[in-house]
Amino acid sequence: MSDNKLIEIQHLRKEYEEVTPLLDVNVTINKGDIIAVIGPSGTGKSTLLRCINLLERPTSGKIIVDGEDITDHKCDINKVRTKLGMVFQSFNLYNHLTVVENCMLAQTTLLKRSRQEAYEKAMELLKSVGMEDFALSYPEQLSGGQKQRVAIARTLSTDPEIILFDEPTSALDPLTVGEVEEIIAKLAGEGCTMMIVTHGIEFARSISNRVFYMDQGGIYEDGPPEQVFDEPEKERTRKFIRRLACLEKKLTEDDGHDLRDEFQDIFGFLSNYKIETKRIVKVCNAYEEFYNLVMRYIVGEDKTVYVSLEYYAKEDKLTLSMAPSSTVEMNEEFYEKLENTLEYKILCNYSLGYKNEEADEGFGRRFTMEL
Amino acid sequence: MKRLLPVIIALCILVASFILLPKSEENKKDSDLLETQLNEYIAKMKENGETDELEKYWVTEYDRGNAEVDKSGITGENGKIIFAAEASFEPACFAGEGGELQGFSIDFIYRFCREYGYEPEIKCYEYTAMNDALSSGKVDIAVGVLEDEERAEEMTFTDNFIKFDIIAVYDSAVSNGFNSLDELNGKKVGIQSGTGYEQYLEVAIPDAEPVFFGDFASIYPALQQGKIDAMLTESVSFGVEKTEMPSFVAIDGSLETMPLRTAVAKTDDGGTFLDNLQNSFSKTFLRESRWQMFVKGVGITLLLTITSAVLGTILGLLIYLWCAHGKKAETKFTNILCWIMNSTPTVVLLMVFYYVIFGSYTISNTVVAIIAFTIHFACIFYDHIISGVKAVGNGQVEAGRAQGFTQDQTFFKIIFPQAAEHFMPQYQGSIVSLIQETSVVGYIAIMDLTKMSDLVRARTYEAFFPLLATALIYFLLIWVLTSIVKFISKKIDKKNRKKEKILKGIKLS
């Protein structure tokens, strides 16, 4: 299977002045791998990517790309780089050239193709990302999503062996994220080898055939998506995945005046999981009612409530929990009269179930409902 | 109308300040009276041997360091007279102990004032500026001037109160010397521009080559460095010069005997403004085909500017690339170089290059100027490139390198075209500055436009027309050059291309 080995990373170490994100990374990337790189911030996801095409020079270790050791100083890195493609978070299009020229420049200069050939290939690629009508536009005339699509076409123009995506959708607003993710998914479907650093879990799950969860100075867990996302083998992975699918908030009495910000966050969070709008609206309403209910019955000065909205994708289960901080006391009536309150009745219409239980340490009772 | 209010206010302030400024005309004395008194007094001096006394005390038996002017007996009962004397010309007029003015011109002034009950105020001027001072009424009498046809149009000369010979001098430390003036035929002879001595050189030693210098202090080093074979100077001051430079030797013989006179302003004999304008025009451009001098000057200025701009741009780019490929050391060196270049005034820089760095080499002064300006411009352009590149940002550099472009390819194909857009306005400004800075090359005896204008001014003794003409010509030159730069920058601006240009060589299906 050595025919399939594209990139071999051996004992890769990257040190910066203050921090060492990568301690000792060892991994092999094969042709056809569609790797999602996830993990908390600062764990070296981008660093790993940028070491592969030597935008960052490793402090020590070996990286072999397509049989060539790029960490060797005698290596002609420019030649190797033409086999590697990169798509950046901030697009980095060549602003002084038109869209089509952006996709032609590397072809004519590095691959020595004729302008005619380069043009035809560029137009073909632009068509596949839906940007052929903008061929003679300049990057400054495009929106973020459009720029990223052009950037992808530009990368493909040199027929790279693998494309490295460094948080391709992080700079886009939630509505345009989708259009770019669609393109990437299409590429994955065509068998393109790629490595994507992303925060979009659902997206990562849907297209990848291998997941790197990065933590503790290296690739903490490496496995197929079904494993890493649904049944993580290791503890920290489990904690991360769980946290990702969870929206946590701290509300005080003042927030009650305008919960619209909260609704925005809920909407953004849940659209990641492709939950339909009707359901999201239900969640928002339940949120508001729940909040009013709890606030009404808090006794004392400090009216603070911890809210969490969790989505368990496997079972399509949405859970909304609220817990006042332990320093807060709930009015005695609350426990008795809860089921008689109007709010409660309304909530029951929304919810599929309700629980009232002892919460974790440091909190009062936790109220959970399923939506 | 309201929007013009600030402009109107500014203009009012300007006009008011001119009205309130004390006019030099107020002190103008009757020129005719002064002329009569001067001639009267000089005749008296000659009769009673005072002129001989003057010559003996200040020239033939000059006791340097001890000779003093008798400044007593000034009553000032008939008012104040303002005199102009040539600055720093020992023994005619110079600053002695304690900064007190001494010299035979000063001596004459005090004797004259004692006789007629005036109080003297003495202003020191460059020789060529004395005429302007007189005709604009800033001074009443100029002392120690040579008469000639052109000057006679602007001032009235009196009799002479002392005389001297024009002599030629060589430096025995660098040359075997010359036994007679004839031996200077075919040699280079240094002359201070504005003295008009070239006329006498032409007559006395017709095949000698005159080399002009802006001020006397520039001629000595040239003689000592062998850039000229001899220099012309006055017999009165040679004694002093010899004490400073013992190796200087005077060649026997006089080119011409020059009577030193005094002069007063010519009373305006009328003539309409237009007539005067026409007269000025013909004096500045037509007489002696002086327009040819202007043309030559323009040629030199353009040569200096364009060569330095082109070479400086290329050099600046090379320096940038050298630093980009190097490490801290290269950048540090360049920063120090730019710091020195930017902290030194252009004039000083030029003179350092000419007299110090290339001092002992025979090298054309035009070449030295081009070298100096090129290095200076390169440093400026280097800063432009740095700021332009910074404005483009690092993202596109990474994108380029990630695609496989080399450092140079990324720079030339991606970064530089965009950096150029950013620094183009400053670059245009630098070109304009360059052309203006070339106006000081007269200091190292290059005959550029400004220097030619100076020479014409020195001959015609009027300031208005030559200066106006020079300013106008510079204005036109700058206009043309900036238009060229603007045209070039438009041509290379990628965003201005038409569709056909972008898709050149491509057949659309």
Please count the residues of chain B.
509
Q: Are B399 and A81 in contact (CB under 8 A)?
A: no
Tell me the chain B residues in contact with residue A154 when contact means C-beta distances shorter than 8 Å.
Answer: 403
Q: How many residue pairs bridge chain A and chain B with CB atoms within 8 Å of each other? A: 74
Radius of gyration of chain B (CA): 29
The span from the CA of B85 to the CA of B65, in Å, is 20
User: A94–B421: do the CB atoms touch at under 8 Å?
Assistant: no
Tell me the chain B residues in contact with residue A75 when contact means C-beta distances shorter than 8 Å.
Answer: none
Residue of A78, A85, A92 lying closest to B395 (CB–CB): A92
Q: What's chain B's average pLDDT?
A: 85
By percentage, how much of chain B surpasses pLDDT 90? 23
Same domain, yes or no, for A124 and A251? Answer: no
Q: For tokens 């030199």, name the residue.
A: B300
Same domain, yes or no, for B139 and B184? Answer: no
Same domain, yes or no, for A179 and A267? Answer: no
Exposed (0-12), middle (13-18) or buried (19+): which is B355, by Cβ within 10 Å?
Answer: middle
Domain boundary at B112, B133, B162, which? B162
Q: What stretch of H or E contains B469? A: helix B464-492
Same domain, yes or no, for B169 and B149? Answer: no
User: B506–A138: do the CB atoms touch at under 8 Å?
Assistant: no
* Exposure string over B37-57, b if 16+ CB within 10 A, otherwise e: bbeebbeebeeeebbeebbeb
Question: Measured at the alpha carbon of residue A287, what is the angle toward residues A371 and A267, in degrees to the nearest 5?
Answer: 80
Same domain, yes or no, for B84 and B173? Answer: no
Task: Write out the residue range of the structural domain in which residue B212 sits.
Answer: 164-261
The reply to whether B306 falls in a domain is: yes
Q: Which residues contact B285 (CB under 8 A, 6 or more apart)?
A: B291, B294, B469
The reply to whether B378 falls in a domain is: yes
Nearest residue in chain B measured CA to CA from A154: B403
Give the pLDDT confidence score for residue B404 in this predicted structure. 93
Q: Which long-range contacts (CB under 8 A, 24 or more apart) does A133-136 make?
A: A134/A99, A135/A98, A135/A99, A135/A100, A136/A98, A136/A99, A136/A100, A136/B499, A136/B502
Same domain, yes or no, for B415 and B304? Answer: yes
Which of B403, B502, B507 is the best residue to mutate to test the A interface, defined by the most A CB atoms within 10 Å of its own CB?
Answer: B403
Same domain, yes or no, for B55 and B187? Answer: no
User: A109–B502: do the CB atoms touch at under 8 Å?
Assistant: no
Radius of gyration of chain A (CA): 25
Q: Which of B135, B67, B75 is nearest to B106 (CA)?
A: B67
Domain boundary at B111, B139, B162, which? B162
The whole-angstrom distance between B430's CA and the closest CA on chain A is 24
Give the pLDDT confidence score for residue B234 in this predicted structure. 87
The span from the CA of B176 to the CA of B166, in Å, is 21
Q: For tokens 């496989």, name the residue.
A: B404
Angle between helices B365-392 and B328-343 (to 10 degrees): 120
Give the pLDDT confidence score for residue B428 in this predicted structure. 92
Q: Where are the alpha helices (DSSP H) in B48-147?
A: 50-55, 104-116, 130-135
Same domain, yes or no, for B114 and B34? Answer: yes
User: B404–A110: do the CB atoms touch at under 8 Å?
Assistant: yes
Which of A56, A95, A124 is the best residue to mutate to test the B interface, defined by the most B CB atoms within 10 Å of its own CB?
Answer: A95
pLDDT 10s digits, B409-467: 999 999 999 999 899 999 999 999 998 898 888 777 787 888 888 877 777 767 777 88
Nearest residue in chain A measured CA to CA from B405: A78
Give the pLDDT confidence score for residue B462 in this predicted structure. 72
The span from the CA of B418 to the CA of B120, in Å, is 66
Q: Which residues contact A348 (CB under 8 A, 6 or more apart)?
A: A354
Tell me the chain B residues in contact with residue A78 when contact means C-beta distances shorter than 8 Å.
Answer: 404-406
Please count the residues of chain A.
371
CATH number at residue A16: 3.40.50.300
Same domain, yes or no, for A250 and A198? Answer: no
CATH number at residue A331: 3.30.565.10
The reply to whether B504 falls in a domain is: no
Beta strands (DSSP E) in A31-80 are 34-38, 60-65, 68-69
Amino acid at B353: F
Q: Are A219 and A27 in contact (CB under 8 A)?
A: yes
CATH number at residue B255: 3.40.190.10
Do the interacting molecules here have an ipTM over 0.85? no
Domain boundary at A243, A264, A284, which? A243
The reply to whether B508 falls in a domain is: no
Residue of B413, B495, B505 lying closest to A138 (CB–CB): B495
Same domain, yes or no, for B245 and B327? Answer: no
Same domain, yes or no, for B67 and B170? Answer: no
Nearest residue in chain A measured CA to CA from B397: A92
Give the pLDDT confidence score for residue B358 in this predicted structure. 83
Task: Write out the residue range of the structural domain in which residue A275 sits.
Answer: 246-370
Indicate the number of domains in chain B.
3
The span from the CA of A180 to the CA of A336, in Å, is 52
Give the pLDDT confidence score for residue A89 in this predicted structure. 94
Residue of A85, A96, A115 lying closest to B494 (CB–CB): A96
pLDDT 10s digits, B353-367: 888 888 777 778 889
- Taking residues B479-483, what's their average pLDDT? 91
Residue A174's φ and ψ, nearest 5 degrees, are -55, -30
The reply to whether B77 falls in a domain is: yes
User: A81–B404: do the CB atoms touch at under 8 Å?
Assistant: yes
User: B402–A116: do the CB atoms touch at under 8 Å?
Assistant: no
Give the pLDDT confidence score for residue A329 in this predicted structure. 63
User: Is the bond leading into B425 cis (omega within 30 degrees of zero)?
Assistant: no
Measured in Å, how far apart are chain A's first and last C-alpha atoms?
A: 48
Give the pLDDT confidence score for residue A8 in this predicted structure. 92
Sheet (strand A304-312) strand order: A246-252, A304-312, A317-324, A366-370, A353-357
Q: What is the 3-state secondary structure (H, E, C) of B317-351?
A: HHHHHHHHHCCHHHHHHHHHHHHHHHHCCHHHHHH
Can you tell me whether residue B256 is helix, strand or coil? strand
Same domain, yes or no, for A219 and A321? Answer: no
* Chain B residues interacting with chain A (CB cutoff of 8 angstroms): 395-396, 398-406, 409, 413-414, 417-418, 421, 494-495, 499, 502-507
User: Is the pLDDT assigned to residue B26 strictly greater than 50?
Assistant: no
Give how far the C-alpha of residue B490 lies from the chain's centroid of Cα atoms, to the nearest Å: 37
Same domain, yes or no, for B195 and B124? Answer: no
Same domain, yes or no, for A190 and A250? Answer: no
Same domain, yes or no, for B413 and B365? Answer: yes
The reply to whether B434 falls in a domain is: yes
Q: Are B189 and B168 in contact (CB under 8 A)?
A: yes
Same domain, yes or no, for A303 and A360? Answer: yes
Tell me the chain A residues in contact with residue B494 when contact means C-beta distances shorter than 8 Å.
Answer: 96-97
The reply to whether B503 falls in a domain is: no
Instruction: Tell me the pairing of strands B141-145 and B256-265.
Output: antiparallel
Give the pLDDT confidence score for residue B258 in this predicted structure. 87
Residue B482 has a CB neighbour count (10 Å cut-off) of 15
Q: Which of B494, B501, B403, B509 is nearest to A124 (CA)?
A: B509
B445: left (phi over 0), alpha (psi -120 to 50) or beta: left
The span from the CA of B251 to the CA of B23, in Å, is 48
User: A79–B404: do the CB atoms touch at under 8 Å?
Assistant: yes
Q: Name which residue leads in pLDDT, B54 or A147.
A: A147
Give the pLDDT confidence score for residue B418 in this predicted structure. 93
The whole-angstrom distance between B308's CA and the closest CA on chain A is 29
Same domain, yes or no, for A26 and A90? Answer: yes
Same domain, yes or no, for A202 and A277? Answer: no
Same domain, yes or no, for A251 and A130? Answer: no
pLDDT 10s digits, B486-509: 998 888 777 777 777 777 777 776
pLDDT 10s digits, B284-310: 787 777 788 888 888 988 899 999 999
Can you tell me whether residue A300 is helix, strand or coil? coil
Q: Cα torsion for B408, B410, B415, B416, to the nearest 10°?
A: 30
Same domain, yes or no, for A313 and A173? Answer: no
The reply to whether B270 falls in a domain is: no
Q: Mean pLDDT in each 10-residue stretch from start to end of chain A (371 residues)?
A: 78 90 92 91 88 92 91 90 94 94 94 92 94 92 94 95 93 87 92 90 88 89 87 80 75 68 80 79 80 71 75 75 67 62 65 59 63 70
Same domain, yes or no, for A52 and A128? Answer: yes
Amino acid at A298: I
Same domain, yes or no, for B293 and B220? Answer: no
Same domain, yes or no, for B131 and B178? Answer: no
CATH number at residue B471: 1.10.3720.10
Indicate the number of domains in chain A.
2
The span from the CA of A15 to the CA of A13, in Å, is 7
User: B399–A86: do the CB atoms touch at under 8 Å?
Assistant: yes
- Give B390's Cβ-side CA count (13 Å radius): 6
Can you tell me whether residue B107 is helix, strand or coil? helix
Same domain, yes or no, for A218 and A283? Answer: no
